[in-house]
Amino acid sequence: MRKALFALLLLSLTYAEFTLTAMDVLVDVNAQGDATVTEKLHYIITSSYHISLYESNLAKTDIGSWGALIGSDEVRSHLDNRVVSVENVVVRPAPTSRCNPLAELCHGELTITYEAKPYVRADGEEVPGTGIFTVEQYKPRTTRYTLNEGALQFQTSELGDVVLGENERLSFMLPRGAKVAYVNPLPGNTEQTGDGRQQLSWENEVLAHFSMVFEKEEGLDQEVIGFFIGARSKLYDFLSGPQGLPAIALVLILAGSYLYLQTKQKKAA
């Protein structure tokens, strides 16, 4: 059976210069609900010509060049740019490894990194429903993050559910201190990192009605600090606006009047 599968693999490779063997997508979410996404694509490269072609392009870092070279629609962001603003996309190809000169075969790997954020209007306000997660102040000191429907762009089933093929893994790294409130389907693997972060992973399955909600509660000290930072920001915005100079002048007049009256009372005494 193994010999038959190996022969089938070799037969498929004779008709494909770059064969995708595994894909790993990690969504590293920060406290603002934005994310740094890292996608690793593993390939088997056949024929000395295509091995040389791959190696001669290792200096290129744009996704358009690598998509054209590989000839695969998987060399892309797996987030829907109609929902998520995908920014600062960089491709980092790894040198070939585990080569077999007789079979004219090598392994290659592309690492694609980018930032995922919500769209922002001209006035600086975020467009509702965009970004990977919708972020809301659920209750005092507690922030809720809800996965936006349609943010992911993988292969889908007839019902529109995300389909992770063989050796395809999707992982979410939650912010430090965040706790899962609801997730469906349950992850196949859950890991706790040393710095108190939780990673949820799914692999080789259909994510039927995929949804995720997690929450992050800030300590009371963070709430107090946030209050003073917000107050300082509002004061700065007020003073730098058109009403700032009149307000400053009024304060100076009142302070001057107070000092004048105090001085006059002392002289009268």
How far apart CA 115 and CA 119 sit, in angstroms, is 12
Distance (Å, whole) CA 199 – CA 29:
10
Contact by Cβ (8 Å): 91, 61:
yes
User: pLDDT by residue for the chain (269 residues), tens digit each?
Assistant: 444 444 444 444 444 699 999 999 999 999 999 999 999 999 999 999 999 999 999 999 999 999 999 988 899 999 999 999 999 999 999 999 999 999 999 999 999 999 999 999 999 899 999 999 999 998 888 999 999 989 999 999 999 999 999 999 999 999 999 999 999 999 999 999 888 899 999 999 999 999 999 999 986 544 545 554 555 666 566 666 677 677 676 677 777 776 766 677 766 66
End-to-end CA distance of the chain: 110
Within the chain, strands assigned E span: 18-29, 35-46, 85-100, 105-117, 133-139, 142-147, 162-163, 168-173, 179-184, 189-192, 198-203, 206-207, 211-217
In whole angstroms, what is the distance from residue 149 CA to residue 210 CA? 9
Q: Which CATH architecture has domain 2-217?
A: Sandwich (2.60)
Distance CA 132, CA 81 (A): 10
Closest CA to 114 of 92, 93, 133, 86: 86
